Amino acid sequence: MSVSHLPEPAWLATAIETFYASGLVVLPTTLDTALCQQLLAEAQQASLQPAGVGRGQALQLNPEIRRDHTLWLDGSTAAQQQYLALMAQIQQAANRRCFLGLTHHEAHFARYQQGDFYQKHLDAFVGRSSRMLTTVCYLNDVDSGGELQIYSEDDQPLLQVKPQAGTMVLFESARFPHEVLAAHSTRYSIAGWFRID
- From first to last of the 197 residues of the chain, give the pLDDT tens digit: 455 567 788 889 999 999 999 999 999 989 999 999 999 999 999 999 988 776 666 667 777 889 999 999 999 999 999 999 999 999 999 999 999 999 999 999 999 999 999 999 999 877 667 999 999 999 999 999 999 999 999 999 999 999 999 999 999 999 999 999 999 999 999 999 999 98
Tell whether 5 is covered by a domain.
no
Tell whether 93 is covered by a domain.
yes
Tell whether 119 is covered by a domain.
yes
Tell whether 59 is covered by a domain.
no
What's the rounded Cα separation, in Å, for the pair 71 and 110? 7
Instruction: Give the residue numbers spanning the domain of 154.
Output: 25-48+65-195
Tell whether 6 is covered by a domain.
no
In angstroms, the Cα distances linking 79 to 82, 84, 168 are: 5, 9, 16
The tally of domains found in the chain comes to: 1
Tell whether 55 is covered by a domain.
no
CATH of the domain at 154: 2.60.120.620
Tell whether 60 is covered by a domain.
no
| Per-residue pLDDT, 9 | 86
| Per-residue pLDDT, 1 | 44
Q: Which residues contact 178 (CB under 8 A, 6 or more apart)?
A: 120, 121, 122, 123, 134, 148, 149, 150, 151, 171
